[in-house]
Structure 1
Amino acid sequence: MARIELVRMDMGPIPAADAEAARRVIFGAVDGLGEKGKRQWRRLWASIFRLEPGEIVEIVSHKARSGPFHRRHMAMEQALFEAQERFEQFRSFRDWLKVGAGHVEWFPGPKGGVIPVPNSISYAELEDNDMREVHVQMVRFLRTEHAQRTLWPGIKDPVKRADAMNAFLMGFDEWA
C-alpha cells in the first residue's frame, strides 16, 4: 500500500488552459475502469484541482502482488524454515528474517535502547514492488555469515554453511 500526501502550492489560480491540458493528459493516458471507475477518477482530479493553497490530500493506492512471485517467496520461506536448525516456530523465524532484512520500525525499548519491530508483509500492507524489495533484502541477509551461522549452528565450517545456503537459494532461482 502506498500513501502519498499532496499539498496545494501557493502559485495562484491554475490557468484554464493548463487545467484543460492536464485533464487531457491525465484522462487520455489513464482512466477509470468502467463507468463507475471513470466517475471516481474524474472526481478525484476535480477535488485535487479545487484544493486551496496549503490544503493537503492523502492518496492511498494498492498494486496487487504477482501471484507467482508471492507463491515462490512463501515457498522459499517455508522450505528454509524446514531446513534450518534454530527456530521452532515459523512466526519467530519470519520475524527474524524481517529484522535481518531491515523490514522493521524502530521503537524505544523497555530499558532505554531501541528495538526493531517487524513490519507486515501481508497483501494488504505491502504491494508488489515493495514486497520484491523486501525479498531482495531477505536474500541478501541470508547470504551473510551471521544468518547462516544462526540457521545452522551445527555446521561449524563457514564455507559449508555458505555452500548450503547458495545451493538452497539457487533452488529458488536466487543466484549470487
Structure 2
Amino acid sequence: MMEPSDDPRQVTDGAENAPSPAVEPVSPSFPTTRIDPIPPVDTKPASDTTPVPMAADAAVDALLTAETVPDPMIATTVTIPAQKNGVEDVGEWGLLSEKVKTWIDAEGFSALWVQAQLPLRVVGGLILFMLLSTVYNGILGIISKVPLAPGLLELTGLIWLAVYARRNLVRSSDRKQVADTFVATWNKVVGH
C-alpha cells in the first residue's frame, strides 16, 4: 500500500507515468530595434556650396504639364463664362425657384390642387388620428395604474350611455333627429 508523501513527484510503476525531465521556462523575447542617435545639424551657412536643384521643382513642372493634358477618362469639359456686372447672381436656388414659380403659374396646378384636396385631408386625418390615439393610449395607461380608476370610469360611461339612450333613443322622432345630426356632421367633415 502506498502512503502519501510530501514529494510532489511520486515515482510510480509504468512508463506512461514516468516523470518528464524538468524544463526551464523560457521568457518570451521581443525583437529589439537599434536606434541610432540623430547626427548634429550644422547651423553654419556654407559659403562655398552651390545650390542643388531640388526634386520639388521637377514635381511642380510635372503637375503644370499634367493640367494642360486632358484626361482620357473625361469625355467633355464644361466652361462657365463669367457673369457681367449688371446680371444678378441667380445660382441654383434662383433656378429652382424660377422652375417652381412657372410650375405654380401653370393652369394645371389649380386643377391638381382641387383633385388633391380630399386625399390630403384623408392623409392629414389619419396622421392626426394616430397622434391623438397615441396620446390617448398613454393617458389611459397612466389611469389604469391607479387602483379602482378603470372600474369607476367604466361605470361612469355606462351610466352616461343609459341616460343618453333614455333621452334621445326612446322615441322615433328623437332617433331621427340624432341620425340627421350624425349625417350632417359626417357631410361637413367629408366635404359633400
Structure ranking higher on relative contact order (CA contacts 8 Å, 6+ apart): 1
What TM-score do the two structures reach when normalised by structure 2?
0.19
What TM-score do the two structures reach when normalised by structure 1?
0.20
Name the larger-Rg structure: 2
